[in-house]
Amino acid sequence: MKTVRSLILVSEDEASNRLGARTLFQNLQDALQEFDLQEEVMLSTITDIGRSDALPLVIVYPEAVVYGPVRPEDAHYLIEEHLYKGRVAEDLLAPIRQLSGRIAWLRARKGTLPAEKRVVLRRAGRIDPESIDDYIINDGYLALGKALTKMTPAEVIAEIDKSGLQGRGGAGFPVGRKWSFVAGASGSPKYVVCNADESEPGTFKDRLIMEGDPFALVEAITLAGYAVGANTGYIYIRGEYALAYQRLENAIEQATAYGMLGENIFDSGFSFHIHMHAGAGAYVCGEETALLESLEGKRGEPRSRPPYPVTHGLWGKPTLVNNVETLANTLAIICNGAQWYRSLGTLSSPGTKVYTIMGQVNAPGVIEVPMGITLREVISIYARGMKPGSTFKLAQTGGSSGSIIPASLQDTPMDFESFRKAGVSLGSGALLICDETTCIVDLAKVLLQFFRFESCGKCTPCRVGTQRAYEILKRITEGQATLDDLDEFPRLAGQMEQTSNCGLGQSAAVPLRDILKYFRAEVEAHIRLGVCPAGVCPMTVERESAQTKTPVLAPA
Amino acid sequence: MVNITINGNAIQVPSGTTVLRAAEQAGITIPTLCDHPDLHPFGGCRLCVVEVQGARLPMASCTLPVNEGMVVTTESPALTKSRRTILELLMSNYYDSGYKDGQKETTQFMRWVKHYGISVKKAQAPAPRYPVNSDPNPVIWVDMNKCILCTRCVRACAEIQGRFVWSQGGRGFNTRIVAGAETTMLEARCETCGACVAFCPTGALDNRLSMGAGKPSTVVTTTCAYCGVGCQIDLNVKDNHIIRVTSNPDASVNGMAMCVKGRYGYDYVHHPERLSKPQVRRYLLKGEPKPKASAGANPGENSDPLWDWVETDWDTALRITAEKIAQARDQHGADSVGVLTSAKCTNEVNYLMNKFTRQVVGTNNIDHCARL
Amino acid sequence: MAGLATSFGSGAMSNSMDDVAENAASMLIIGSNTTEQHPVFGARIRQAVLRRGMKLVVADPRAIDITEFATLHLRQKSGSDIALLNGLMYIILEKGWEDKEFIQTRTEGFEDFKATVMQYPPEKAAEITGIPVAKLYEAAEILATNKPMAVVWAMGITQHIVGVRNVMDLANLQMLLGNMGVPGGGVNPLRGQNNVQGACDMGGLPNVYPGYQAVPLEAVRQKFEAAWGVPLSPQVGMVLTEMMPAAGEGKIKALYIVGENPVMSDPDSNHIRHCLQSCDFLVLQEIFPSETAAYADVLLAGVSFAETTGTFTNTERRVQMVHQAISPQGEAREDWQITAELAKRILEIGERKVAAAPLSGWEYANTAQIMAEVAAVTPSYAGVSHERLERGDHLQWPVKDASHPGTPILHVGQFSRGVGKFMPIEYVSPPELPNDEYPMILNTGRVLYHWHGGEMTRRASGLMEIYGQALIEVNPDDAVHMGLDNTARVRVTSRRGSIEAEAWVTDRVPPGMVYANFHFPEASANELTIAALDPTCKIPGYKVCAVKVEVV
């Protein structure tokens, strides 16, 4: 397995090539060998970088320094300065104004990037998750103590707001704004609900936080309760997370015994109680309003919005619903201040993000890195590259409600704003890395299979639309589809997006669009040529046991 | 009050009103299936989507509360397209096995399907997914192939009857309406009030007693004759027969609600044992004395042929009765006559019985079963 | 409703069903199986609990369906209602929860009443009723502190030998808490039959003319004599339960029965059969040859509600139209036409002659004309007309004139009799208690799927498929003692008769009690019931009698 400490990218679009990018690449390769860095530093090319007057560009990771224009003869100097001596070659830096589009963010990243920056996972794996003493020794309850004794609820919210923290559940809603909505909503009592129903396939970041640092979640929920004026909190936890459940229960128990939970915490007059509720295995209950329905003991079906939970949440009362990772971030913000938090990540998306990496990479697992790094960095550096012989084809983010990111977009910085602009979604932080052995139609079929099963069944477009889409995809994989079927995708996807009640139905349509947008040729090959280029699909009808279904009428 | 604009009309409605209700008040029809004014909004069918200025996506008007200054459009080519797609999706999972239903008229679902020009034959599912007539309930017919999962039955059972028989089972494409834990309605503690049938917009739930009865020639609103609640009900009449009883949405006491007797206990009216002519005992026609029951016989048993019933005409029956009552009164005094009037009869009949007793007979010996 | 008439001067449901369902903060249901006997109102009560969180206390020996929605279920022993109510009122006084201002300004007789209630400390009430003291306190607190509180009852209160006293004690409770004349409160007896209220309103009672104008009152009699052109009897007549024995004794020579089936619906059926058999002449106007028809000399074919036009008055005093939907079946005739024809013929041939008077005649073109006559002689119906009802007016009597909107809530500001009267009510034990020979208590009533004597519902195919035979409810503990499994038949025997039916083993009934209905002639509970009468309103005590139960 190859491990690199740095990654160098050379632009290789036509313009760059005209300006000697190929020679530059060769020269860089030579220089690396000269300094004996070829094992530690990886050299690669980048195609889609947007327009630039500073071509050819050279980008060095993990610091993400952008040089340009770089002439072939600069190669030796650049390698020596940056990679051998370890300092930025200031004179070769690309003028920032000449950069545009996706490249501009790199300069906004302020300084160098550490390999991993742990904020929410900083205690996970390092402390005894069942000992409140261990937690307290490791800065536990500093944030809550500070908030309860030195800050008003409004000041807490203001600090969170200033930090620019965005929800980590997938939608990226500004957390400070949400807190202030709940604090400002009329109606009482108010509730804090922690969404720990982590059910996106391949996502297990929240589990790590809950299992590794359960007291932090308990503290953060209490902090949120103080800020928004709630005295009761609920943790709606995925039913399968038995260990996390057990550790959180233990945390609640110990915190209560230590007076960190319950009546009059820190003698501040503020009281707070937390209840646990285990989900029963429905994916849709991760949607916040379905979660609230489920918590109320009803069938987990998303509500219609407006009104939103911030004003009409649990039992119709103002309710703050936040994801585990989101809440876990708030402690560090209160401890270290919004200013500090903003020093991480990008301008528009401060802070870190926890990702779970799976698929055809050498080192799958969980990482916590600052917002704004690219998929290429994740794969090449943190996941230590694609498996031998594998070529990166696409990534699927955020479990099923994320989107498909083709290789062409792998240099898009992973933050809310950039992804939104690129028309893709960060999702919940899962990264399924696929290579050429993945068939795009098969992948979409698997996703739709999941949706048609996990749709709550409430609204027509989602309940029936996912089924119809699945049927078409299945026909393609069986070689039974026509090109007309492909015209149905945008129509169906459009209506599902337009008329579904919640995000599930809307995002279920995304794969239908994405596969045609990025992989139309591959899809059409199934239909026109009758072959699956990846060799995955059966391309023949799988016989089901023949069932004659005739209406059964009662005797008159 | 909140000011909103719907299709260019300025409308003022109380805050908390949904856009759908506001449109209704302005005389604007928005297609709906899962919505019913008596039930909590659900927002499932999505047929009622409208465009709201400033909103990214169309919104379901049945669950959308009005906001000051809201500008709503209820008809546009895009909305028509959305609604047609929704109806097509619903139809793709709907199967009509071709039997004659028990509905009063065309179902709400079929009206919209036709309105949007969808061919039932082409659009419906290739085969049924469920058995037709899947519940043994004696008065309610269940055919889930016609179910569009609007959950009006679920809500009617919960919000009108408070019985919670129906619910949604399964999820995703396998979602279906189930009684209890997928058992029969009666085992799921159904009280057979028929509210679910009254609210069903597709005929998935239907009146078993009325299957194939067709459309009524007249519908007469009247007051139920069972208990003292006094529900207003609609008798559907065809060929001088009651073919079904339906809810009258404007009923002051009960709204859409009824009980099992009110909705399904009507066929006694046409029972073959109905008295269709006056009858008198033979001894009265022959001018003989009343035959005594033989000793030892049970009360009411009398095998004497003079005690047989004879059907007669009204004139004879009334003449005999008048003579006998007049005779009793004239010979034994007015208090030798007793009258039992009926808590089942109308006020007008009861008034006449009271007048009859007091004016015609001259006694106060009148009572009914109020005490019982 | 004599009890309410004594306490308030008017004996009807004081509030509306809708009002109670929408506004009551708490409710006491006592002696009413609301969800089975008044199902649509029962459903509204469920919704009041579900939607508004209305606190519901149900007092019933049986675990009837509505107890599922109750905050508290009090399972008093049959016939111990007065001890229960007095015990609750003791607690209310003890805690100072009574409405002192209401008592002061709107009632009389409080001190005497209080002295009686003070004889019922919770311990004593608990002993008589079998309800633990703690539950009595809990109930009193719920009912006294969640106002307005509505009391709802039905035959379970009135069909006792102490029925009138039960009702008066409920009136006491509502006066004590000041729940009269307010939305969401009141005394709310649910009338059994669809038009019991109307039959009473129309003078179908031996002591009152239409609108509860008392027979013994000179002025009233003169008014009706003037209207009808004939001298009227000043003597209060016989009630049904007196008429039957009188027929048996030969004092009643002729009986004219319209739409009633005393053999099924009256207690002690054997006795009723004997009485009817003894009557010289019985004319029965009916739609079916009922069990009573076996004793009739003439059967007149009347019509069902679907074949006639007129009005019913529901339990909340609401007058509503009945519309003819189909023509009379066969040669049957509308009942008002039969009665009018009979009246004309009797007046023609009999000795009693009628003078010309404004309302003496019997020529009616339609029932609207009859209602006009009702309005002319009945102050509480003065403003009722078919025309207004057809126009959509919602009229609850009293409707004082043609422009009066009706009266949804009675006793607002003032009771009909001026001030409300507290009546001291003592507990008396039921007339027939279990002994060695008849060790169990029989409770009787109706079930959801059937109606009364069952003449209609036993001929409704759908209802019969659901509930096709009489079932006798037996507690599982008793079933074990008897060696009874759920499918066996039982024989229930009282001092008066015996029935056999299938047993339904259920904890709806408490141990020591069986419950039977009277819908099925082959096993009618009224073969067993006791004809002992309430001394004031002469309702039989259907709800308690001693029986023995054997497995067949």
Q: What is the CATH number of the domain that holds A403?
A: 3.10.20.600
- Shared domain for A306 and A277, answered yes or no, is yes
In the complex, which subunits touch C with 3 or more CB pairs below 8 angstroms? B
Task: Please report, for chain B, the start and end positions of each structural domain, with discontinuous segments joined by +.
Answer: 2-75, 216-274, 279-371
Chain B residues with CB-CB distance to C540 below 8 A: 371-372
Tokens 């969180």 belong to which residue? Answer: C53
Structure tokens at A51: 């327009």
Residue among B161, B222, B340 minimizing CB distance to C258: B340
Q: Average pLDDT for residues C343-352, to the nearest whole number?
A: 92
Q: How open is the CA angle B361-B367-C1, to the nearest 5 degrees?
A: 140
Enumerate the β-bridge partners of residue A193.
Answer: A234, A321
Interface membership of B65 toward A (CB under 8 Å): yes
Q: Which chains touch A (3 or more CB pairs under 8 A)?
A: B
| Per-residue CA distances from B52 to A462, B5, B58, C18 (Å) | 21, 10, 7, 37
B/C interface, count of CB pairs below 8 Å: 508
**ipTM score:** 0.92
A43 and A77 belong to one structural domain: yes
Q: What is the DSSP string of C15-51?
A: S-HHHHHHH-SEEEEES--HHHHSHHHHHHHHHHHHH
Reported in sequence order, the residue ranges of C259-385 that DSSP labels E, i.e. its strands, are 281-286, 298-301, 310-313, 318-322
Domain covering B2-75, topology: Ubiquitin-like (UB roll) (3.10.20)
Q: Do the domain assignments include residue A1?
A: no
The predicted structure's pLDDT at residue A411:
83
**From the CB coordinates, do chains B and C have 3 or more pairs under 8 Å?**
yes
Q: Compute the average pLDDT of residues C480-506.
A: 86
pLDDT for position C533: 61
What was the pLDDT predicted at B76?
Answer: 96
Q: What is the pLDDT of residues A413-471, one digit of tens each?
A: 888 888 888 888 888 889 999 999 999 999 999 999 999 999 999 999 999 999 999 99
Q: What is the pLDDT of residue A542?
A: 66
* Same domain flag for A97 and A33: yes
Cα of B202 to nearest chain C Cα, Å: 23
Flag if A284 and B63 touch (Cβ within 8 Å). no
Whether residue A168 is found in the same domain as residue A217: yes
- Lowest mean pLDDT, pick from A205-209, A375-379, B171-175, C103-107: A375-379
Q: Which pLDDT value is given to residue B63?
A: 95
Helix ranges (DSSP H) in C280-334: none
Q: Where in chain C is the domain with CATH 3.40.50.740?
A: 196-396
Q: What pLDDT does A527 receive?
A: 94
A552 versus C119: which is more confidently predicted?
A: C119
- Please list, in sequence order, all residues whose beta carbon lies within 8 angstroms of the beta carbon of residue A43, skipping any fewer than 6 positions away: A7, A8, A10, A25, A28, A29, A32
Chain B: nearest CA to A555, how far in angstroms?
Answer: 10
Has residue A23 got a pLDDT over 80? yes
User: Is there a domain that residue A295 lies in?
Assistant: yes
147-206 in chain B: CB under 8 A from chain A: 148-149, 167-168, 170-175
Is A211 in a helix, a strand, or coil? Answer: helix
Is residue A144 located within the same domain as residue A40?
A: no
C116-126 pLDDT tens trace: 999 999 999 99
Below-70 pLDDT ranges, chain B: 294-300, 370-372
Distance from CA of B64 to the nearest CA of A (A): 6
Does residue A94 share a domain with residue A182? Answer: no
> Domain for residue A117, yes or no?
no
Per-residue pLDDT tens for A518-538?
A: 999 999 999 999 999 999 999
Work out the average pLDDT over A175-197.
Answer: 96
Chain B residues with CB inside 8 Å of A455's CB? 171-173, 175
pLDDT, residue C535, reads 60
| pLDDT tens column, A75-113 | 999 999 888 888 888 888 877 655 444 444 444 444 334
Q: Given pLDDT bands bounded at 50, 70 and 90, which one contains residue C532?
A: low
pLDDT of A548:
44
Check pLDDT > 80 for residue A169. Answer: yes
- Asked whether the predicted pLDDT for residue A336 surpasses 60, the reply is yes
Contact check, Cβ <8 Å, A299/B131: no
Cβ atoms C57, C145 nearer than 8 A = no
Closest chain C residue to B225 measured between Cα atoms? C194
Residues of B in contact with A452 (CB under 8 A): 172-173
Residues A453 and A473 in one domain: yes
pLDDT tens digits, C128-171: 999 999 999 999 999 999 999 999 998 888 877 778 888 899 99
Domain boundary pick from A394, A412, A435: A435
CATH value at residue A282: 3.40.50.11540
The average pLDDT across C270-288 equals 90
Under 8 Å CB pairs connecting chains A and B tally to 120
Taken in order A368, A374, A376, A377, the sign of the CA dihedral is negative
How far apart (Å, rounded) are the C-alpha atoms in residues A344 and A331? 15
pLDDT tens by residue, C231-267: 999 999 998 888 989 998 999 999 999 988 888 777 7
Ranking A136-150, C471-485, C517-531 by mean pLDDT, the lowest is C517-531
In a domain, A114, yes or no: no
Residue pair A457/B170 in contact by the 8 Å Cβ criterion: yes
Given CB atoms, is C518 within the 8 Å cutoff of chain B? no
pLDDT for residue C494: 87
| Backbone phi and psi for residue C463, each to the nearest 5 degrees, phi listed first | -65, -40
Residues B198, B175 contacting (CB under 8 angstroms): no
User: pLDDT at position A137, please?
Assistant: 93
Rg (CA), chain A: 26
Residues 6+ apart with CB under 8 A from C536: C2, C3, C164
Is the pLDDT reported for residue A116 higher than 70?
no
Q: Tell me the CB-side half-sphere exposure of residue C424, using CA atoms within 13 A.
A: 12
Q: Would you call B275 and C47 a contact, using CB atoms and an 8 Å cutoff? A: no
Contacts B192 to C, Cβ<8 Å: 449, 462, 466
What is the rounded CA–CA span in Å between residue C260 and residue B350? 13
| Full residue range of the structural domain in which residue A491 is found | 441-528
Task: Calculate the average pLDDT of chain C.
Answer: 90
Report the run of H or E that residue A295 belongs to, with start and end: helix A288-295
pLDDT at C430: 80
- Are residues A394 and A294 part of one domain? no
Number of independent structural domains in chain A: 4
Q: Are strands A6-11 and A41-46 parallel, antiparallel or unpaired?
A: parallel
Q: What are phi and psi of B45, to 5 degrees?
A: -75, -30
Contacts of B338 in chain C (CB under 8 A): 238, 243, 246-247, 252, 254-256
pLDDT at A109: 45
B242 touching chain A per CB within 8 A = no
Give the pLDDT score at C416.
76
**Strand A319-323 vs strand A191-196: parallel, antiparallel, or unpaired?**
parallel
A307 at interface of B, judged by CB pairs closer than 8 A: yes
| pLDDT value, residue A105 | 44
Per-residue pLDDT tens digits for B173-207: 999 999 999 999 999 999 999 999 999 999 999 99
Nearest to A457 among B82, B89, B175 (CB): B175
* CATH 2.40.40.20 corresponds to the domain C440-551: yes
CA C410 – CA C398 distance, rounded (Å) = 9
A373 with A520, same domain: the answer is no
* In-domain check, residue A288: yes
CATH domain B216-274 topology: N-terminal domain of TfIIb (2.20.25)
Residue C294, token pair as written in the block: 């076996």
Query: What values do phi and psi take at A179, rounded to 5?
Result: -60, -40
Query: Both A406 and A504 in a single domain?
Result: no
Q: Which residues pair with B227 in a beta bridge?
A: C193
Confidence of residue A399 (pLDDT cuts 50, 70, 90): low
Nearest chain A residue to B173 by CA: give it. Answer: A463
What six digits make up the tokens of A378?
Answer: 């994740």
Enter the pTM of the model. Answer: 0.88
* Amino acid A38: pLDDT: 85
Pick from B315, B365, B327, B349: nearest CA to C256: B365
**Topology (CATH) of C5-190:** Dimethylsulfoxide Reductase; domain 2 (3.40.228)
Q: Which residue has the higher pLDDT, C310 or C261?
A: C310
Nearest to C539 by CA among A244, B126, B369, B275: B369
If asked whether residues A332 and A366 sit together in one domain, one would say no
Shared domain check, A183 and A317: yes
Which chain A positions have a beta carbon within 8 Å of B78's beta carbon?
498
Cα A367 to chain centroid distance, Å, stands at 11
Chain C residue closest in CA terms to B283? C297
Is position A519 within any domain?
A: yes
Give burial (CB, 10 Å; 0-12/13-18/19+) of A85: exposed
What pLDDT is stored for residue A392 in this prediction? 93
Query: What distance in Å separates the CA atoms of residue A126 and residue A131, rounded to the nearest whole number?
Result: 12
- Residue count of chain C, please give it: 552
Separation in Å, CA A265 to CA A145, A151, A211? 9, 14, 24
Using an 8 Å Cβ cutoff, are C443 and C506 in contact? no
Cβ contact A461–B129 (<8 Å): no
Q: Does A115 score more than 60 pLDDT?
A: no
Residue A62 φ/ψ, nearest 5 degrees? -85, 0
Tell which residue, C188, C187, C205, has the closest CA to residue C196.
C205
pLDDT tier for residue A543 given thresholds of 50, 70 and 90: low
Cβ atoms of B23 and B6 within 8 Å: the answer is yes
Please answer yes or no on whether A460 and B133 come within 8 Å at the CB atom.
no
**3-class SS at C426?**
coil
Name chain C contacts of B360, Cβ cutoff 8 Å.
Answer: 343, 346-347, 350, 352
Q: Does domain C196-396 have CATH number 3.40.50.300?
A: no
